[in-house]
Amino acid sequence: MILQETQEIRIVIIDDHPLFREGVKRILSMEQDFNVVADGEDGSEVIDLVRNHQPDVILMDINMPKLNGLKQRSN
């Protein structure tokens, strides 16, 4: 029998509601293959968080102040 090594799924959560972010983190932490590597409160944080943490998945609200989840930041 060959055992497959499971690889964790690295997740970044972006939402302007701290209670929502915390709830999603707690739910995802119940799954052993999920790892929330970072979270932020505004779309302007996404680029830096992705560069620093290299997630597999980004869960992002599309309706946030400053920079929402649909606009792109130019650099």
User: Which strand (E) or helix (H) includes residue 37?
Assistant: strand 34-40
- Domain residue spans of the chain: 1-75
Q: Considering the domain 1-75 in this protein, what is its CATH number?
A: 3.40.50.2300
pLDDT in tens, 26-43: 999 999 999 999 999 887
Give SS3 for 11: strand
Longest CA pairwise span in the chain (Å)? 53
Q: Quick one: pLDDT band at residue 21, thresholds 50, 70, 90?
A: very high
Q: Which of 3-7, 49-53, 57-61 has the lowest mean pLDDT?
A: 3-7
The residue assigned the tokens 């590597």 is 37
Confidence band, pLDDT 50/70/90 cuts, at residue 4? low
